[in-house]
Amino acid sequence: MLSLDAILQYFGGEDPEWLASVAPASAAEIGAIEARAERTLPPIYRRYLELLGREPGVLFDEYLGADPRVDRILTHYDAGGWRPPPPYTLFARDPEGQPIDLFLRDRDRDGAADQAEPYLVSFAMPGGPRNMRDDGPDRPILLAPELRTFVFRAGFDNLIGSRYSTLIRARIPEGVGERWAALDEAVDKMGMRHEHGSDAWTSSHRAHEAAIQWLRNGPDEPVLIRAWSDDEGLLHTLVAALGVCGQVVVDGLHPTNSPIYS
């Protein structure tokens, strides 16, 4: 998996206008977040703030549903907002005050390290409105196994997929286990080149005519598929080719600028 710096460089090379729009948080702003959070920030989050903390541009547009900018986080704390205890660090606050807030979780419930880097999770803050799911600090919803993974997924969607006019969303309901490599192989045979940033849970390919990305958050999780093209027939062909790995459930065609989470 690429570092955050390498991901920034990769997408910046693809979209220099986006790169010119981003801005890092200052050392004072990072220190203020750490002081208000009353805990040491995870190293990966500190590096994110150093690269994109003040302004991430369109990186998360139509993807995140919450605002990770440093001024939004500081406003939350300065207004007396809920301070998540360890193992959580607030990463993004929903601008409408809805329960779509995002957190980094770097420890399990027993205090042992879950993995090398924090998970990215979502849940409703205590005392705030809840969505239809019964979530909370004890029932977090996993969004990505690493922050770097999430940044790459969002960047591929908004800075590469957005170049095409049509998006098709689909999923393979069951976990694919050892068949994961077959997903890559099926698209490799179509002449689509493997993209940078792919890891154990995310894979992306691209050609002039189309781009495709599939992801999962664990070995037994369903595979979520997103494919983009100006040719609707090609999108269906791509998804059908992945059917060798399991039953593919398609939720239809969408304009590229349609929200990911509907």
Residue 129 has pLDDT above 60, yes or no: no
Secondary structure of residue 119 in the 3-state scheme:
strand
Question: What mean pLDDT comes out for the span 21-35?
Answer: 97
CATH code assigned at 185 = 3.30.160.110
pLDDT for position 110: 46
Specify the CATH number for the domain of residue 119. 3.40.1580
Q: 188 and 219 in one domain? A: yes
**Domain identity same for 137 and 240:** no
Q: What is the pTM of this model?
A: 0.90
The domain tally of the chain equals 2
Instruction: Determine the Cα–Cα distance for residues 60 and 66; give it in Å rounded to an integer.
Output: 9
27 is a domain residue? yes
- Lookup: tokens for 257: 């600028």
Query: Would you say residue 157 lies in a domain?
Result: no
Residue 248 above 60 pLDDT?
yes
Of 101, 99, 119, give the one whose Cα is nearest residue 109: 119
Short-list 104, 95, 121, CA closest to 33: 104
Range of the structural domain that residue 234 is part of:
164-255
Residue 86: pLDDT band (50, 70, 90) is confident
Indicate whether 54 belongs to any domain.
yes
Residue 156 falls within a domain, yes or no? no
